[in-house]
Every structure is written in structure tokens, then in C-alpha cells.
């Protein structure tokens, strides 16, 4: 494990610029979801339990050795759900002290009902919260959560974070054939949450069958070793985004893009 770096990139991100990735879970793929489109492939450890997977000291040493000066920001996502790492808050503080770069967290929103997790996230400059469904059945079909996690708890957690967090909070919505008919229902939830921005993505990459560490970066899985989901067209995505913007008056961006978390 010690030879595997928790830091990768910087990779070019269309929304974040040159983004240096920090992976607090790189011992395996670890997440409270098993999303149908996950670019990591099958999540091996399906859990909502928090623990320290990699010591903070190692993460900060890896960061010190990395090309962080070339990055525009540092992003916590990696091999699963970053809020499952119990040292998330400590690492965010350490990154800020060492680099002074903006810190971004991509979360699947499943641990946001936990006040300790929200406190830790308040150290980040921007938080991207996943929300892929507007009803429980679609939520279970797309995100395949661990037992006890429901759409209701996810939305409740995002609303609590919104009330406590003064930074930039964006909602990431992955548009698929399973949720494209739910625009009005999504808009109703967004009006309750009041994010700074809504990002509509659609899966554009093949889904790897097995987890492998390089999937945490910008890597494109070869179509021969992955399966491709039924894709929507860019005009489907643009129409959906326009309708969300019309119904909510929120700032909405749209793009065909796969994501890890
Ligand atoms: S896409 Fe993100 S939230 Fe979904 S299973 Fe993969 S790592 Fe977890």
C-alpha cells in the first residue's frame, strides 16, 4: 500500500481546470452507492461506515511530493465516497495549510445527515452533492444504496448542509433513461435545496467491470473491457437542463460526462 500514492494528477477537468486528485480510499473501491454508471466499475466495499483508510500523515506526505503547484484546485473524490474517510476534515485542513489552493469535495450526499461530516465539509471551498433521482424507486435503481440510505435521508442531509455551509454548493445530477421523465419532481426538490448551481451530466464512458486504481483519474476505459450504458443525446441533456432552469430559475449547466463521485 505504501507505494500507492493517494494523490494523482493534476488532471484536466472541464469544470474545475487543472485538478489535483486526493484519494482517501485508495486501498479499494469503497462507497455507500453502487451507481449503475460508476466509472470505477463494481464497488468492492459497499458500506456507509466511516473509518480511516489511509493515515493523514501519508496523504500530506504524498501531497508534498506531488505537482500541487501546477494545480488550480485540489479535489477529494478518488476510489469511492470521500466522506466515508474519518480523517476527511483533518485532510482538508492539511491541504489548505500546505497549498492554499481551493479544496473541492465531490460527495454522493449519503453521510450529510451526520453533523460531524457537515462540520468537516465546512472547511471546503466548494461541495458537489450528488442527487440523481426524485423518487425512491428510481433512486434505488440508479444509485443502489446500502441499507438504511434513502432518497429522503439524502435530501434531508443536503438541506442541512445548505443551511450550515456558506460556500459554493452545487448539485450534480446524472441524467439517464431511468430519470429523464422526472424533471418536474427534480425541480421541486431543487427549489427546497436552493443550490448555487445545478450540473446535469450524462454517462458517456464505458463502465469498467472491475475496479482498478487508475479509474479514479481522467482515464477512459477501453470499450472492449467495459460495458456501455444506453446513452442519451446531447439534445436530450440540453432540453432537460433548459426545463430545470425554467422551473427553478437556478443556474444550470449540462454536459455529457462520466463521474466517479
Ligand atoms: S459514481 Fe460515485 S457515488 Fe456512485 S458508486 Fe461510483 S463512486 Fe460511488
- Taking residues 238-244, what's their average pLDDT? 97
Q: Identify the H or E element spanning 236.
A: helix 234-248
Cα–Cα distance for residue pair 70/66, rounded to 1 Å: 9
Chain-centre distance for alpha carbon 162: 16
The confidence score (pLDDT) of residue 169 equals: 98
The confidence score (pLDDT) of residue 151 equals: 98
Q: Which atom of ligand 1 is nearest to the CA of 40?
A: 6
The confidence score (pLDDT) of residue 261 equals: 46
pLDDT band at 108 (very low <50, low <70, confident <90, very high): very high
Q: Which of 199, 211, 173 is nearest to 23 (CA)?
A: 211
The confidence score (pLDDT) of residue 227 equals: 61
| pLDDT at 254 > cutoff 80 | yes
Q: What is the 3-state secondary structure (H, E, C) of 96-114?
A: HHHHCCCEEEEECCCCCCC
The residue whose CA is least distant from atom 4 of ligand 1 is: 35
Question: Which residues have CB under 8 Å from 56's CB, separation 6+?
Answer: 87, 90, 91, 94
- Taking residues 159-177, what's their average pLDDT? 97
| pLDDT at 8 > cutoff 90 | yes
Q: Which atom of ligand 1 is nearest to the CA of 31?
A: 8
Q: Which atom of ligand 1 is nearest to the CA of 29?
A: 7
Mutate to test the pocket of ligand 1, among 26, 31, 46, 82 (most ligand atoms within 8 A of CB): 31
- Taking residues 102-129, what's their average pLDDT? 98
The confidence score (pLDDT) of residue 213 equals: 77
Ligand 1 centroid – CA 111 distance (Å): 13
Average pLDDT, the chain: 92
C-beta separation of 19 from 73 below 8 A? yes
User: pLDDT tens digits for 42-76?
Assistant: 899 999 999 999 999 999 999 999 999 999 999 99
User: pLDDT tens digits for 185-194?
Assistant: 999 999 999 9
CB 147: neighbour CB atoms within 10 A?
8
Provide residues with CB under 6 Å of ligand 1: 31, 33-35, 38, 40, 43, 80-81, 108, 130, 260-261
C-beta separation of 103 from 74 below 8 A? yes
Ligand 1 centroid – CA 98 distance (Å): 28
| pLDDT at 1 > cutoff 60 | no
Ligand 1 centroid – CA 106 distance (Å): 10
pLDDT band at 15 (very low <50, low <70, confident <90, very high): confident
The confidence score (pLDDT) of residue 224 equals: 42
Ligand 1 centroid – CA 9 distance (Å): 20
| pLDDT at 252 > cutoff 70 | yes
Ligand 1 centroid – CA 203 distance (Å): 12
The residue whose CA is least distant from atom 7 of ligand 1 is: 80
The confidence score (pLDDT) of residue 255 equals: 81
- Taking residues 101-120, what's their average pLDDT? 98
Secondary structure (3-state) at 180? coil
For a pLDDT cut of 70, what percent of the chain falls above it?
92
C-beta separation of 134 from 188 below 8 A? yes
DSSP class of 181: T
Which bin fits 76, alpha (ψ -120 to 50), beta or left (φ > 0)?
A: beta
Mutate to test the pocket of ligand 1, among 43, 48, 133, 174 (most ligand atoms within 8 A of CB): 43
Q: Is the pTM of this model over 0.85?
A: yes
The residue whose CA is least distant from atom 2 of ligand 1 is: 261
220 vs 81: which has the higher pLDDT: 81
Amino acid at each position: 500500500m505504501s507505494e500507492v500514492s493517494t494523490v494523482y494528477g493534476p488532471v484536466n477537468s472541464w469544470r474545475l481546470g487543472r485538478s489535483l486528485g486526493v484519494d482517501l480510499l485508495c486501498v479499494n473501491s469503497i462507497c455507500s452507492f453502487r451507481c449503475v454508471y460508476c466509472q470505477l466499475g463494481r464497488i468492492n466495499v459497499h458500506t456507509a461506515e466511516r473509518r480511516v483508510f489511509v493515515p493523514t500523515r501519508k496523504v500530506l506526505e504524498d501531497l508534498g511530493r506531488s505537482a500541487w503547484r501546477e494545480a488550480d484546485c485540489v479535489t477529494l473524490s478518488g476510489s469511492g465516497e470521500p466522506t466515508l474517510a474519518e480523517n476527511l476534515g483533518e485532510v482538508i485542513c492539511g491541504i489548505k495549510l500546505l497549498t492554499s489552493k481551493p479544496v473541492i469535495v465531490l460527495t454522493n450526499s449519503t453521510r450529510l445527515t451526520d453533523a460531524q461530516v457537515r462540520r468537516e465539509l465546512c472547511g471546503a471551498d466548494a461541495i458537489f452533492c450528488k442527487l440523481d433521482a426524485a423518487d425512491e424507486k428510481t433512486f434505488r435503481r440508479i444509485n443502489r444504496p446500502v441499507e438504511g440510505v434513502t432518497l429522503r435521508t439524502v435530501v434531508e442531509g443536503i438541506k442541512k448542509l445548505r443551511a450550515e455551509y456558506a460556500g459554493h454548493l452545487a448539485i450534480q445530477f446524472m441524467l439517464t433513461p431511468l430519470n429523464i421523465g422526472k424533471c418536474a419532481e427534480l425541480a421541486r426538490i431543487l427549489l427546497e435545496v436552493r443550490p448555487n448551481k445545478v450540473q446535469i451530466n450524462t454517462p458517456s464512458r464505458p463502465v469498467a467491470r472491475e475496479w482498478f486504481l487508475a479509474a479514479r483519474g481522467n482515464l477512459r476505459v477501453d470499450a472492449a473491457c467495459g460495458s456501455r450504458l444506453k446513452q442519451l443525446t446531447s439534445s436530450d441533456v440540453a432540453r432537460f437542463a433548459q426545463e430545470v432552469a425554467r422551473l427553478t430559475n437556478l443556474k444550470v449547466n449540462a454536459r455529457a460526462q462520466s463521474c466517479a463521485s
